[in-house]
């Protein structure tokens, strides 16, 4: 007889459904050997498919960013997985770059991406990134706090300006944030602080390839204080 599927509560949508195992930090962010310390949570098949469709977009966003050049893993992925995807016209980010990109002579103050030294700028789908990052936060929360974020939780997510990322990370640690929690070697790290009176109210720093940091707040009653 086949193995029975587990029925339970999905970490992402909160519905009681047939569950599968979900890698919260996407496996596509790793080159070669996969991490020996993955963050895995139970999710329904619908949510698993939904997140998988956006994981590749997050990967391309990260490895094409000019600040990721310091990461050997990001460089390998850019030169292999991303290029194959782009050549087969499967990369949404590559299509956007081709159709909507432009050459610039200076670096603007924006959330745009740059390819290597060429200063080739193109817009990103912020809504798609928000969806993926909010699901990552839900998964991390369930894994670390052993409970689920409320389905109607509010999320505030933005990228930390590269100029301020070191100060932001060090300052958050000095204030007593938990972590860093890491997955893989130099691929993902995070810090988290929760309101002791309401653990649904949290603040996270999500670092990818030790170069790109997002701040994510859940159910916050405070204004975001980090520099965007």
Q: How far apart are CA 39 and CA 34, in angstroms?
A: 12
Distance CA 74, CA 88 (A): 20
Residue 66: predicted pLDDT: 85
State the pairing for strand pair 178-183/212-218.
Answer: unpaired
Centroid of chain to Cα 206: 7
Instruction: For the chain, list residues with pLDDT below 50.
Output: 1-2, 115-117, 223-228
Chain segment 172-204, per-residue pLDDT in tens: 999 999 999 999 999 999 999 999 999 999 999
pTM over 0.75: yes
pLDDT in tens, 6-17: 999 999 999 999
């Amino acid at each position: 007889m086949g193995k029975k599927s587990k029925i339970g509560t999905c970490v992402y949508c909160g519905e009681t459904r047939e569950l599968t195992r979900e890698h919260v930090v996407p496996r596509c962010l790793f080159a070669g050997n996969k991490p020996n310390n993955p963050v895995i949570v139970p999710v329904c098949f619908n949510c698993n498919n939904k997140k998988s469709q956006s994981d590749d977009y997050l990967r391309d966003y990260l490895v094409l960013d000019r600040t990721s050049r310091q990461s050997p893993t990001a460089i390998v992925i850019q030169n292999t997985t991303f290029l194959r995807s782009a050549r087969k016209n499967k990369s949404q980010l590559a299509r956007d770059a081709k159709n909507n990109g432009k050459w610039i002579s200076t670096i603007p103050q924006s959330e745009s991406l740059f390819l290597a030294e060429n200063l080739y700028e193109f817009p990103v789908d912020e809504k798609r990134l928000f969806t993926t990052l909010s699901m990552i936060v839900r998964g991390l929360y369930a894994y670390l706090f052993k409970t689920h974020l409320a389905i109607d939780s509010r999320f505030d997510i933005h990228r930390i300006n590269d100029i301020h990322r070191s100060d932001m990370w060090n300052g958050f640690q000095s204030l007593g944030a938990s972590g860093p929690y890491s997955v893989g070697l130099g691929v993902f790290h995070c810090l988290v602080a929760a309101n002791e009176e309401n653990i649904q109210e949290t603040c996270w720093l999500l670092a990818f390839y030790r170069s790109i940091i997002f701040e994510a707040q859940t159910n916050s009653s405070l204004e975001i204080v980090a520099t965007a």
